[in-house]
Amino acid sequence: MNPEDRIKELRVALHKHNHSYYIMDAPTISDYEFDAMLKELEVLEGQFPEFHDPNSPTVRVGGGITKSFATVKHEYPMLSLGNTYNWDELADWIRRVQKAAPENTFVCELKYDGVAIGIRYEYGKLVQAVTRGDGTQGDDITNNVRTIKSIPLQLNGEYPERFEIRGEIVLPHAAFNALNEQRAEQGLPLFANPRNCASGTLKLQDSSVVAERGLDAYLYFVLPDGILAATHSGSIKAAGEMGFKVPRPEHKFIEACQTIEEIQAFIEYWDIERKNLPFDIDGIVIKVDSYHTQEELGFTAKSPRWATAFKFKAEKVETQLNSITYQVGRTGAITPVANLEPVWLGGTTVKRASLHNQDQIELLDLHEGDLVYVEKGGEIIPKVVGVNTAARTSDQPRVEFISECPECATKLVRKEGEAQHYCPNEQQCPPQVAGRIQHFISRKAMDIMGMGNETVQLFVSEGLIASPADLYNLSYDKIIALEGFKEKSVTNLLQGLENSKQIPFDRVLFALGIRHVGATVAKKLAKHFGSITALMDADEATLSAVDDIGTVIAQQLVSYFNNPENVREILRLVEAGIQFELEQTEAITEGPLLNAKIVVSGVFETMSRNELKALIEKLGGTNVGSISAKTTYVVAGEGMGPSKKEKAEKLGVPILDEAAFLKLIGQ
């Protein structure tokens, strides 16, 4: 047999054995035989590099070095799920879905406590793996994901030409414990929990180290919807047949449910049995099975209406309060933090916990040295939830909230109706200065590559910057003089600053860090006013009249623009070349879609739903998720649900097919 044929034969056989061992848990050959075949393949590939294949089984051992992880935009946004810890809230959600879709079947699945991943396949081969990131874009970690043995590099049987599958990368308990034992022997700090360890492992530069860690994966979401089957459960079954490690009914990891009682039984079963799993879960995900019904139910701004998560209640432990420190946020908000006697809680050693604000401290009637009860909110952030008053002695003084900023000694203020105290020294208080700049450079804002929070802290401490505008006065000579900076890193940082001058106005507005002005509000304001000049000139009444703005945001904007320091900062950013007005093509002042509220439903021939929605926004319209009397048009593609059609007709909302919509906009 010639070398090329033998290489192909070995690859096919090893892919098959990998699937049998790591996915089906039914090995067909011994480890010795497998290792011998793998070694033969490694030797042949070394002798005949012209037959290189990035999806060869030999990549499982890693060895590649990734110096930086490219940022990749998701073709389909990675939205988060709504969740609850309350059974009554979940039951209400189930009833709402049942009312909207009486014939619906639910699917219950485990909520894996790992790292979300999206993996793209083309012609049966793995081509790219991307982290969740901010939901819009993530990091390309393909080289590292190729080393995970339960993720197939080559698919079996029939499969679509192109598709994406999503799931969770987890670190099994056995691998986590073995890794920590090894680190203890080496005198290295231990990893806090499997999820954090998995996340850190996936961002290692050396893929051979990733390969040694023993990561695993469960994949449970195929895109685009309906490419494998008409239902979610059907897609999962088909994905399993293609070679993916998916939740299987025989393991009770996934189950179809018709009633509230069946869903409750699934949740109660796993609330107990999760302790016997070889990996961590933190709840149960409940989804509508039919893709058609999912389409009917639609989305909110942040999450689908057709899925939610029931989170298991957090474990609670008792430990001693040693002291309280106070953190200053970028907006000047003061957050008290309890420093605790270290205690093991939910897979991590907890030393600190949030106390939120003065009201919470008073509600707890907290005294110095108290024994307190701590739990993890969402099993992530520890918080103090109670006090063992029976153990308190008479010589323990009551905790008094501070009156001055712990960083700059400025007298704190608390506005009427607000829970938090604030440091008003916005321009000189060090954490506020650094926090404001860190927000400015963040991914959703100016996205300045080559610069992170530690770099900001260093530049602030060295006196190089005290505001976002100072970033654009940085020079090569100033930065290269600092310890730890090399020519390439300085060049990348300066190029990142230059590239940020192309960031559109709505993101620049968000980057300013105006209180209550998040990304969505910034987008509305930018679209409505078109420029920073028009926005600064608007009075409270004008601002309040903008959709979804309201009095509180309007007052905050007026206050912000009345501050001479803020105005000077904006003028400096304008001089630096930052975009403070919409591009001419974006400033729509007329047209058939101007201010129209449009519902998009179904599948279209000439463009994807995302492309259609982007076009609507470009032409001055607004995409909305549900039909109401305020809806201007429904754009209906193939497969639009009958209930949406019926509602539109009942309310007299015009329904446009694809051709009619394109004619309306003149295309």
pLDDT digit string, tens, across residues 515-557: 889 888 898 899 889 899 999 999 999 998 887 788 889 999 9
DSSP H helices in 298-420: 358-364
Locate the domains of the chain by residue range: 3-61, 82-308, 316-391, 430-502, 505-576, 597-664
302 exposure class (CB count in 10 Å sphere: 0-12, 13-18, 19+): exposed
3-61: CATH topology is Helix Hairpins (1.10.287)
pTM of the model: 0.56
> What is 505-576's CATH number?
1.10.150.20
The CATH class that applies to domain 430-502 reads mainly alpha
DSSP H helices in 101-166: 142-145
Same fold, 3-61 and 82-308: no
Which amino acids are annotated catalytic? 111
Give the Cα-Cα-Cα angle 153, 158, 163 (nearest 5 degrees): 60
Nearest to 310 by CA among 249, 235, 257: 257
pLDDT under 50: residue ranges of the chain: 378-379
Distance CA 134, CA 126 (A): 23
Consecutive H or E run containing 217: strand 216-223
The verdict on domain 82-308 having CATH code 3.30.470.30 is: yes
The token duo for 592 is 């058939």
Q: Are strands 254-257 and 82-84 parallel, antiparallel or unpaired?
A: unpaired
Nearest to 250 by CA among 240, 262, 242, 259: 240
DSSP classification of residue 76: S
Say if residues 374 and 316 touch (Cβ distance below 8 Å): yes
The verdict on domain 316-391 having CATH code 2.40.50.140 is: yes
Q: Could you give the maximum distance between any two Cα atoms of the chain, in Å?
A: 88
Catalogue the long-range contacts made by 568-577 (C-beta closer than 8 Å, 24 or more residues apart).
Answer: 569/467, 569/468, 569/469, 570/512, 570/532, 570/536, 572/467, 572/469, 572/472, 573/468, 573/469, 573/472, 573/508, 574/532, 576/469, 576/472, 576/501, 577/472, 577/501
> What is 597-664's CATH number?
3.40.50.10190
